[in-house]
Amino acid sequence: MVQRFIAKILRRPGRRKRVYLEVRPSGIAWAESAGSAGFVDCSPAKRSSVLGALASERRWVGADATLILPLDQYQVFQLERPEGVDESELGDALKWKLKDVLDFNPSDAVSDVFPFPEDASRGRGNLLNVVAARKSLVSELVELVKNSSLTLVSIDIAELALRNLVPYIDPDRRGTALVHMRERFGQMIVCKGNTLYLSRKLDVASDDLRDASSQESAVQSLGLEMQRSLDYYESQLGQVPPAVIKLVASDNVLPLSSMLASYVAATVKTLDWSSFDVDAPPDSRCLTAWGASLAVAGKTNGVLQQVDLYTDELRPRREKLQAGAALSALVLALVVIATAAGVVRYQQPQLQAEADLLQRQNEQLQSAVEQLTRNIETRQPDPDIEAALERVTATLVRRQQLLARVENLIAAETRGFAAPLSALARQVPPGLWLTQIRLDARQGNVGLAGKAQAGRLVPVYLEKLGAEPAFAGKTFASFQLGREESGAMIEFQVASGSTLEAAQ
């Protein structure tokens, strides 16, 4: 577009405005590097006109833009870093390992990686977070930004944009959790300083939290999802769970933090905006875009986890000149051609001699290539290499057969666990969690360990289990009940044997 071309010419270094956009089904969230942010409601069919009008109104023409993909438009997986792969090629190399878990072909994916915290790998090697998004979806967003007279420079993801808020609320890097509630779902991240450890989608809609008929169930589901995330952070990542969870929700009238208190071991508090030095809290609908803009503010320190899904295959290969710019380029080209023609005519004899020399050198190189080709064709395969290949192939076949036998044995050993596990899951009452389960299909022993908000919940749970066919006739001979050192929860262990060994 002519407007964009003129804007590029007139821009001065160091004065470029930066814009951050999150395009969602319900509208477009935006933020500027200067700190302003907002949300515009629009349907997908009107995105182009709405964004174009917004760019004109906010004077964004020619500004650098960063896209932030919402949580439901990409997937993140943890994979071991391969050896011998260049840093710039890791995203493309690892996306093909996701072919069994992606819901689309890896050839239709754009991908990038960012580091997984070393102290959370728990002996699983050097891990990387691999981000994959559908190329066709991202391409539509790229065209939307380009057609709005903006210059797209990068594509970020939601959890890393929210991660930029954490250094402001966790300056001591002790670890904190942030929950952002949206209309259709919520998102929870756990960070230490500017390092992301955990991100999880919370499948609870804001409408269910506001509806009196579904509110209690929705709050309970949300609390359990948050507590499971903290338990995973502690048990699987080996980290100390944060004592406080910061909450950001669009409906500030709803006392959500106090409603969650009975379902989450940590304290839930509404986010205090005083540490961000803002006149008024930003609209929660544009929190992700606003969080992305904080990466430029210089508040964070250390090496950031970063991704950029704006890969080379999505970037334009050339930009077309139009109208007056094309005419000016044509006139300049004609002047250059005329000048070059005069120089060539003047230097023609010398150029002809150089051309003859290059022709002879080309013929010599062609002869050398033909000779090398004949030498390669006469080479025979190395017998030692072929023998080694056969040995490796035979070894691989034997190991595959052994693996199949082991899998059959595992399947045979675990067929008897489905009914007891289903019974355990059905009868868990609110306020009680199982932390350990041990089932011995051969001896019939059962061991359970868990936590409860009240001691009366444990015998109620055991009585309900006794009514299940899978536990008919079972007697829990060993029983221990006590309170945690903090006093917040009741811990219990029961076993059908004579000792509590089954529950350890």
397/454 same-domain check: no
- Residue 415 has a pLDDT of 53
What are the pLDDT digits (tens) for 252-302? 657 888 999 889 999 999 998 888 888 888 888 999 999 999 874 444 444
DSSP state of 227: H
Split at pLDDT 50, 70, 90, the class of 15 is: low
Q: How many residues does the chain have?
A: 504
Q: In the predicted model, what is the mean pLDDT of residues 143-152?
A: 93
Most confident option among 159-168, 360-369, 400-409 = 159-168
Task: Note whether 394 and 422 are same-domain residues.
Answer: no
- Considering the domain boundaries, does residue 440 fall inside one? yes
Nearest 5°: the CA angle 226, 74, 168 is 55
Q: Are 396 and 453 within one domain?
A: no
Q: Are residues 407 and 456 in the same domain?
A: no
Average pLDDT (375-392) is 76
Q: How confident is the model at residue 363 (pLDDT cuts 50, 70, 90)?
A: confident
Q: Would you place residue 504 in the very low, low, confident or very high pLDDT band (cuts 50, 70, 90)?
A: very low
- Number of domains into which the chain is organized: 2
**425 and 494 co-located in one domain:** yes
- Quote the CA–CA distance of 106 and 104 in Å, as a whole number: 6
Match 């970037």 to its residue by tokens: 315
Q: Please report the pLDDT score of residue 499 as a whole number.
A: 47
The answer to the question of residue 421 being in a domain is: yes
Q: Which pLDDT does position 11 carry in this prediction?
A: 44
Q: Which residue type, as a one-letter code, is found at position 86?
A: D
Say which residue the tokens 């908000």 belong to: 453
Which range marks the domain in which residue 410 is found? Answer: 383-415
Q: Distances from the Cα of 335 to the Cαs of 120, 324, 325, 328, 346, in angstroms?
A: 64, 17, 16, 11, 17
Asked if residue 71 lies in contact with residue 158, where contact means CB atoms within 8 angstroms, the answer is yes
The 10s digit of each residue's pLDDT in 86-137 is 877 888 888 888 888 888 888 899 999 999 999 898 888 889 999 999 999 9
Range from 73-87, 317-331, 370-384, 461-475 that averages highest in pLDDT: 73-87
Establish if 455 belongs to a structural domain. yes
CA distance 225 to 242: 15
Residue 409 pLDDT class (50, 70, 90 cuts): low
Three state DSSP letters for 277-318: CCCCCCCHHHHHHHHHHHHHCCCCCCCCCCCCCCCCCCCCCC
User: What is the arithmetic mean of pLDDT over 368-390?
Assistant: 77
Tokens of 403: 């693996």
Q: What is the mean pLDDT of residues 213-229?
A: 94
Specify the residue for token string 């355990």. 424
In a domain? residue 448: yes
pLDDT band at 10 (very low <50, low <70, confident <90, very high): very low
- 69 has which bridge partners? 157
Looking at the fold, whether 465 and 409 belong to one and the same domain comes out as no
State the pTM of this model.
0.60
Last residue of a domain, one of 415, 434, 463: 415
- The answer to whether residue 254 sits within a structural domain is no
Q: Give the residue with greater pLDDT, 225 vs 423.
A: 225
Q: Say what the pLDDT of residue 9 is.
A: 40
Residue 440: its pLDDT value, please?
76
Residues 452 and 402 in one domain: no
441 and 454 belong to one structural domain: yes
Say which range, 7-16, 83-92, 302-311, 399-408, has the weakest mean pLDDT.
7-16
Instruction: Identify which has the larger pLDDT, 333 or 156.
Output: 156
Considering 224-233, 257-266, 462-471, the range whose residues carry the highest mean pLDDT is 224-233
Residues 121, 327: Cα–Cα separation, whole Å: 59
Residue 352 token pair: 């002809």
Residue with more model confidence, 13 or 272:
272
Given this model, what pLDDT does residue 297 score? 45
461, 495: one domain: yes
More confident call, 444 vs 447: 447
- The verdict on 471 and 497 lying in the same domain is yes
Of 372, 400, 415, which residue constitutes the final position of a domain?
A: 415
* Residue 180, in any domain of the structure: no
Higher confidence at residue 201 or residue 2? 201
**Same-domain pairing of 393 and 460:** no
Q: Is residue 399 part of a domain?
A: yes
Could you give the CA distance from residue 283 to residue 268 in angstroms, rounded to a whole number? 20
Mean pLDDT is lowest, of 323-337, 338-352, 359-373, 400-414, for 400-414
> 12: pLDDT confidence band, cut at 50, 70 and 90?
very low
| SS3 of residue 70 by DSSP | coil
Averaged pLDDT, 184-200: 93
Domain boundary among 415, 431, 458: 415
pLDDT greater than 90 at residue 83: no
Identify whether residues 408 and 463 lie together within a single domain: no
**Mean pLDDT within 182-186:** 89
What's the pLDDT at 191?
Answer: 93
Specify the CATH number for the domain of residue 483: 3.30.70.60
What is the gyration radius of the CA atoms in the chain, in angstroms? 31
Structural tokens at position 327 = 């005419």
Q: Encode pLDDT of 35-71 as tens digits.
A: 889 999 999 999 999 999 999 999 999 999 999 999 9
Per-residue pLDDT, averaged over 387-394, amounts to 84
More confident residue, 470 or 200: 200
Asked which of 319-323, 459-463, 464-468 is least confident by mean pLDDT, the reply is 319-323
Q: Given a cut of 80, is residue 176 above it in pLDDT? A: yes
Structure tokens at 466: 């006794």
Q: Is residue 90 part of a domain?
A: no
